[in-house]
Amino acid sequence: MDRRSFLGKIGEIGAAGVALSALPIVGACAPDKEEAKPSGKVRIGLIGPGSRGQLHLANLQQISNAEVVALCDIYQPNLEQGLAMFPAAKAYTDYRQLLADKDVDAVVIATPLNEHYRMSMDALSAGKHVLCEKAMAYTMDECLEMYNSAISSGKVFIVGQQRLFDPKYLKALESVRNGEYGPVVNVRNYWFRNADWRRPVPSPEYEKLINWRLYREFSRGLMTELACHQLQNGVFATGQLPVKVMGSGDIVYWKDGREVFDNVCVIYTFPNGVNMTFESVISNKHFGMGEQILCKEGTVDLPNGRYYPEEAPKKTAIRQLLGEIEKGVFSNPAFAGTSWAPETAEDTSGISIMPEASGDGSLEMMRAFCDACISGVQPEGVLKEAYYGSILCLLGDEALLQQKILEFPEKYKVD
Amino acid sequence: MHSRLELLFICPDAVKARHLCEMAERLVKTQSAEFDRHNPDSPTALLNASSGKVVVNEDLFFALELCEKFRSLTGGYFDIAALSPDRSRPAYELFPGTHEAAMAGKGHLVDFGGFAKGFALESVRNIFSAEGITDGLLNFGNSSVVGMGKHPFGPCWRVRSEEGGRLFELNDSAFSMSGRSRSGKDHIIDPHSSSPASAGPWVAVSGRSALVCEILSTAVYAAPLGERGTIMKSFEGYIATYGS
């Protein structure tokens, strides 16, 4: 099956009512399918070569069927850093000029959240394929309009939800969807950091340009920057959309003039009563980042690609003894017997779901985008999943701001 | 040997500890391959299949020598040829000058169950001792255990039996348990009757050598009650206890 057929199959499955089938994407990412790449090159213009934009550029340097022909930024240092990576690219300071460039087939948008809608819509109008960073847009209405426009444009539109392209996530979530670990009973997401989320500003007039994540006019804070990735997992895992959301957020520690919460806790409830939580604090990093699908028979740790069965095999005698020695205990473990019964030693680090997987899916996502641009086939299941990820994070932020339990609005459900 | 070897020992040098584990693993795997009569390419299987003299490697020759010696010392109740249809003994002849062995006939075969784990534990203990390891617990399949030196927080290594709560206190000593399998099956053969011995749930033997403990626990389990004391008398420093 060639890449075109692969991507086409994703679309067929999406249309059949399944939110997204992981397997075809895993297949599309598999190295042995690289031979089936469509021929040709896609000429890319990247808008916003800041930190995330430069990561995309680094990935594009590894993709043979991509050529970065244009870069755009209103902040000169970022533009120069991007040009250092692609010296032959044309430089723009107005994204509309980049969109008017006939040498550009596709654009990658890595700008502040509030610009996503306008730039994406303009890009589609200009006939460009689009990869727009997540979250999709600043409002749910904008997301819906972008989704519909992308579908009707016939252009490729991917939102930068790289987990949708991370083989270990896809493999794990496929197993969850297939019921291999029993029914999903809870979804836990958290992201803890201990930093002010600020970037150095050369002079005060650049504060909002550079630290846009901290200000409401540009950003919805932790919900759009972090929750977006994780909420999409819950929808993917359960195959359902939550029916309601509630939560609480505040500025607890970083009272430095920022406008977005530095501490949020949100609960989404699925139709079957299963809850999905998202917690984020940026003044304590002890537990780091976690995305866990709790099933009746085990727990899937998505970022680490590991599975922890509920019924852990018995510890071996020596392991028990070792644990006791580490606690300074002189014990007399009871294990002696006439024969040995085979047992699997407890592996406290869980079972690796896909040991060969590496990276976070960003490179695979960019590869898929380039291939899709060349083949002209939109992997629509991916867009739908990403759309719902954005809708959920925005709905969650609304619940935080309104301090109400909000129901999932019918108007934002898409076919 | 269809079992699991677990090693816990005190060694401040992590690189050395890993190296010792690797050495032990290699050694035990080699022995396991040599003593596996079910693998048609193993030295043991080739000996069983032979109809005349065959040259055997040093380990196998030594094992055959030891086994014959212990057969004699246990009144024939430890017998690696217990599964042979032919009950005539000895089941094999050894030729030290040429390192050859010859089975006594087609109706004889040797099986190193009841010997191999103890032999392996002694081999590992020797390596560890030679490398300066003084304290550790070596467990082969929960039925043969060696305690080298002492526990970091106690005067010895203590291990309790799963059934009956028998406590073994090991300090440069070992124990071995033989008896019915966990599934309740009598699998130890009385060499004198060629029938499965059924002498209670288990026998445990403790003493200096893991190999001797394993041999004795097999022998006394297979022996009639009246013969057990006689067998044990020949092995000073070894104590047998019996489950009920």
Chain B interface includes A333 (CB < 8 A): yes
Domain membership flag for residue B149: yes
DSSP label at A253?
S
User: In chain B, which residues have their Cβ closer than 8 Å to the Cβ of A317?
Assistant: 6, 139, 142, 159
Domain membership flag for residue B11: no
At residue A32, the pLDDT reads 39
Distance to chain B for A338, nearest Cα, Å: 5
At residue A344, the pLDDT reads 45
User: In chain B, which residues have their Cβ closer than 8 Å to the Cβ of A320?
Assistant: none
Domain membership flag for residue B150: yes
- 8 Å CB contact of B153 and A318: no
Per-residue pLDDT tens for B197-216? 887 788 999 999 999 999 99
Q: How confident is the model at residue A174 (pLDDT cuts 50, 70, 90)?
A: confident
User: In chain B, which residues have their Cβ closer than 8 Å to the Cβ of A329?
Assistant: 153
What residues pair up with A106 in beta bridges, in sequence order?
A: A44, A129
User: In chain B, which residues have their Cβ closer than 8 Å to the Cβ of A339?
Assistant: 141-143, 181-182
Q: What is the residue whose two structure tokens read 């958290």?
A: A190
Domain membership flag for residue B218: yes
Per-residue pLDDT tens for A91-134? 999 999 999 999 999 999 999 999 999 999 999 999 999 999 99
Q: Which helix (H) or strand (E) holds A175?
A: helix A167-177
- 8 Å CB contact of B153 and A325: yes
User: In chain A, which residues have their Cβ closer than 8 Å to the Cβ of B202?
Assistant: 337-338
Domain membership flag for residue B186: yes
At residue A314, the pLDDT reads 62
User: In chain A, which residues have their Cβ closer than 8 Å to the Cβ of B161?
Assistant: 334, 336-337
- 8 Å CB contact of B204 and A318: no
- The answer, yes or no, to whether residue B72 has pLDDT greater than 50, is yes
Concatenated DSSP letters of chain B: --S-EEEEE--S-HHHHHHHHHHHHHHHHHHHHHH-TTSTTSHHHHHHH-SS-EE--HHHHHHHHHHHHHHHHTTT-S-TTTT-S---S-SEEEETTTTEEEES-TT-----TTTHHHHHHHHHHHHHHHTT---EEEEETTTEEEEES--TTSSSEEEEETTTT-EEEESSEEEEEEES-TT-----EETTTTEE---SSEEEEEES-HHHHHHHHHHHHHS-HHHHHHHHHTSTT-EEEE--
The rounded distance, in Å, linking the Cα atoms of A115 and B188 is: 80
pTM, 2 dp: 0.60
Please give the residue of chain A at the shortest CA–CA distance from B169. Answer: A332
Domain membership flag for residue B170: yes
Cα-Cα end-to-end distance for chain B: 28
- The answer, yes or no, to whether residue A269 has pLDDT greater than 70, is yes
Assign A345 to helix, strand or coil. Answer: coil
Chain A interface includes B166 (CB < 8 A): yes
The rounded distance, in Å, linking the Cα atoms of B34 and B121 is: 15
Please give the residue of chain B at the shortest CA–CA distance from A327. Answer: B153
- The answer, yes or no, to whether residue A10 has pLDDT greater than 50, is no
- 8 Å CB contact of A330 and B151: yes
- 8 Å CB contact of B145 and A336: yes
Domain extent, residue B156, equals 134-242
Distance to chain B for A309, nearest Cα, Å: 23
Domains (ranges, CATH) in chain A? Answer: 3-165+359-378 (3.40.50.720), 167-311+350-357+392-412 (3.30.360.10)
The stretch B55-66 carries a mean pLDDT of 92
Q: What is the dihedral of CA A251, A252, A258, A262, to 10 degrees?
A: -70
How many domains in chain B?
1
At residue B128, the pLDDT reads 96
Q: Return the percentage of chain A with pLDDT > 70, whole number.
A: 86
| C-alpha triplet A211, A48, A82: angle, nearest 5° | 110
- 8 Å CB contact of A332 and B182: no
At residue B1, the pLDDT reads 59
Q: How confident is the model at residue A25 (pLDDT cuts 50, 70, 90)?
A: very low
Q: Which of A69-73, A189-193, B29-33 has the lowest mean pLDDT?
A: B29-33
Q: Which residues 190-209 in chain B show a CB within 8 A of chain A?
A: 201-202, 204
The stretch A26-43 carries a mean pLDDT of 55
Domain membership flag for residue B234: yes
Please give the residue of chain B at the shortest CA–CA distance from A335. Answer: B162
Please give the residue of chain A at the shortest CA–CA distance from B144. Answer: A336
CATH of the domain at B173: 3.10.520.10
Q: Which residues 334-353 in chain A show a CB within 8 A of chain B?
A: 334-342
Closest CA to A68 of A116, A103, A37, A93: A103
Mean pLDDT of chain A: 87
Chain A interface includes B6 (CB < 8 A): yes
Per-residue pLDDT tens for B113-140? 889 999 999 999 999 999 999 999 999 9
Please give the residue of chain A at the shortest CA–CA distance from B156. Answer: A330
* Top-confidence residue, A33 or B67: B67
- 8 Å CB contact of A330 and B154: yes
At residue A370, the pLDDT reads 96
Distance to chain A for B103, nearest Cα, Å: 29
Query: Residue A188 is which amino acid?
Result: R
Asked if the interface predicted TM-score (ipTM) of this complex is over 0.90, the answer is no
Q: Which residues 136-155 in chain B show a CB within 8 A of chain A?
A: 137, 139, 141-143, 145, 151-154
- 8 Å CB contact of B159 and A337: no
Tell me the two tokens of residue A364: 């695979």
Assign A294 to helix, strand or coil. Answer: strand
Please give the residue of chain A at the shortest CA–CA distance from B242. Answer: A338
Domain membership flag for residue B77: no
- 8 Å CB contact of A337 and B139: no
Q: How confident is the model at residue B229 (pLDDT cuts 50, 70, 90)?
A: very high
Distance to chain A for B48, nearest Cα, Å: 26
CB–CB contacts below 8 A, A to B: 84
Distance to chain A for B93, nearest Cα, Å: 31
User: In chain B, which residues have their Cβ closer than 8 Å to the Cβ of A323?
Assistant: none
User: In chain B, which residues have their Cβ closer than 8 Å to the Cβ of A332?
Assistant: 158-160, 167
